[in-house]
Chain A
Amino acid sequence: MNDELVIIGAGPAGLCAAIEASKNNLKVLLIDESDRPGGQLFLQTHKFFGSRHHMAGVRGFQIGNDLLKQASDYGIELLLNTIVWGIYPDKRVAFATEGEKKCSVIAQNILISTGALEKAIYFKGWTKPGVMSAGAIQHMMHVHRVLPGKKVLIVGSGNVGLIVAYQLAQAGADVVGVIESLSNIGGYQVHAGKIRRMGIPILTSYTIVEAQGTPCVESAVVAKIDDRGIIINDTELEVLCDLVCLAVGLRPFDELCRVLDLKMVYIPNLGGFVPLHNENMETSFNGIYVAGDVAGIEEANTAMDEGRLVGIVVAEKLGKIPTKKAGELKIQIRKRLADLRLGSFGSVRASGKAEIIKHWQ
């Protein structure tokens, strides 16, 4: 029997889709390239925002543990250490697993929930050892228990930069500061407030000019910029640090979407090119869905709900769940998603999502 739903990427979106689909008796195959499912949830040591439905107040990794338990209770088939390298027009998913012979399956439906890639900014010395992305630092700290630097400069004040600053300080690093090229802090004030109370400065309208040191980073030069982004003369300052953390945004990890030549739309507020999709998260290719960051950069709560939505949509399509019941569930999830996209932070993403739907129509 063909797998009714093959899910590529076992992060928050993929896991929730798998759980929701299995709950409705679908045969699911969940594939992930790492040795443990959960994606970025296991890098999130902070408590989540949101409502009771999103387990607000519970730490990300604990939500991850809870999802893994549910996945195992439903007996979801899981293929780890597996790289999906292609999807063919007959919905054959081609993959490679170390030491395994099986290398493809044909799926009735596919969910691409491959998450995001970190962006970088380029400056003199940016390839030196000691310049790292925020995700890499979190991975080293929380998965491998390695503190990658003692004195850290953070570039970017979105929630990722602010949270990583806090986590590095918890791990014992000296965070010398967070710099932000815009004139305002990008992330939540409460995240900024946490690190400010620890005495960590946040400097807006600042950029990194150079990472210095041989061969590793020993210092960084920062400078003030004007509102056009141009460095103001004589504001350069050398800051001692052995780690420069780049937290300058994410973009959808869209390789598999490109392989399939899915229609893409450019939505800057959602990270750049995003696969076109409808309200059921179905792409321009019938039976292929997207959810989570690959469908537009948001956050784990929206990823989980988009995943659940796909689980229900596919279950309904295959007749595993009555249309009326599916309709009710979809309304509940869409209401939660709408709630998560309220407010001055969420509404930016809401308008991006609305633009995608507009393109679809």
Chain B
Amino acid sequence: MLDKLPNDSNDGVLSLERIRALPGYPGKDRFDEGPVVVIECDEDIPCNPCEDICPEGAITVGEPIINLPCINPDKCNGCIVCISICPGLCMFVVHKNFSATESLIYIPYEMHPVPEKGSIVKGCDRKGEFACDARVEKTILIKKLRKTAILAIAVPKRYFEIVRAIKL
């Protein structure tokens, strides 16, 4: 009901334009090369665990602590360690050329049940709207991940910057 109403301005969703302008957002070539992190963090919140946890030193927040995290896409190897530490759940790893036709997107997931590997779920955009079917390739739920599961979902390539969530 409320979701059918038009919203004027700030509805809590970052536009793709804004996300692409964030510090260190990977360029086209880097996406083509292999898995890389995208950080959809756009506010000056005092927060830096991503900088501390990255084993490659690919994320810099520095001083002051309210700087936006800046990715060095050349250092990032898409290891996914950062996804589960981010309190904002706003880090994703994107493997654009997972196959000839599909991209693989690693997303944080804190709902129950965690879908099984191989199942087909609804791939959704940043507004929770259906974008395309998504296939669950991996579910990673280990103690190190602090109760945030990580799902790797395969989607048609053209959705690699669109799909950021799933619905069962």
Contacts and interface: CB of A to CB of B under 8 A. Distances in A.
A189 B85 contact: no
Interface stretch (A244-252, A273-281, A337-345): A337-345
Given A52-B49, A170-B110, A170-B111, A196 B11 contact: yes
A170 B114 CA distance: 12
Nearest to A55: B49
B43 A57 contact: no
Contacts of B111: 169-170
| Interface of A: prevailing SS | mixed
Interface string A220-238: 0010000000000000010
Interface string B126-145: 11110000000000000000
A59 B146 contact: yes
A214 B166 CA distance: 37
B46 A239 contact: no
Interface string B1-16: 1110101111111100
Contact of A197 (B45, B49, B127, B146): B127
B128 A203 contact: no
Given A183-B9, A196-B127, A199-B127, A176 B45 contact: no
B2 A57 contact: no
Contacts of B52: 52
B89 A201 contact: no
Interface in B4-59: 5, 7-14, 40-49, 52-53
| Interface of B: prevailing SS | loop
Interface string A310-343: 0000000000000000000000000000011111
A279 to B, nearest CB: 20
Nearest to A192: B12
Given A190-B41, A193-B13, A237 B1 contact: yes
| Interface range, B side | 35 or more
A179 B110 CA distance: 24
B164 interface: yes
B118 interface: no
Interface string B100-125: 00000000001110000000000011
A183 B9 CA distance: 8
Contacts, number: 156
Given A193-B126, A204-B10, A205-B8, A343 B146 contact: no
Contact of A57 (B45, B49, B66): B49
A339 B46 contact: yes
28 contacts: A47-B85, A47-B148, A49-B45, A49-B47, A49-B87, A51-B48, A52-B49, A57-B85, A177-B1, A183-B10, A185-B10, A188-B45, A189-B14, A190-B87, A190-B90, A192-B13, A194-B89, A196-B11, A196-B126, A197-B127, A197-B164, A198-B128, A202-B7, A202-B12, A339-B46, A343-B46, A343-B66, A346-B66
Given A56-B87, A201-B2, A345-B44, 19 more contacts: A47-B86, A50-B49, A51-B47, A57-B87, A170-B111, A177-B1, A183-B9, A188-B88, A190-B45, A192-B13, A193-B88, A193-B89, A197-B165, A198-B167, A199-B3, A201-B11, A222-B2, A343-B45, A343-B46
A189 B1 contact: no
Interface of A: 46-52, 56-59, 169-170, 176-177, 179, 183-185, 188-205, 222, 237, 239-240, 339-346
A190 B46 contact: no
B72 to A, nearest CB: 20
Nearest to A194: B89
A146 to B, nearest CB: 17
B9 A204 contact: yes
Contacts of B86: 47, 57
A160 B11 CA distance: 17
Contacts of B112: 170
B46 A193 contact: no
Contacts of B146: 47, 57-59
A196 B11 CA distance: 8
Nearest to B5: A203
A54 to B, nearest CB: 9
Contacts of A340: 46
Contacts of A47: 85-87, 146, 148
B53 to A, nearest CB: 7
B88 A239 contact: no
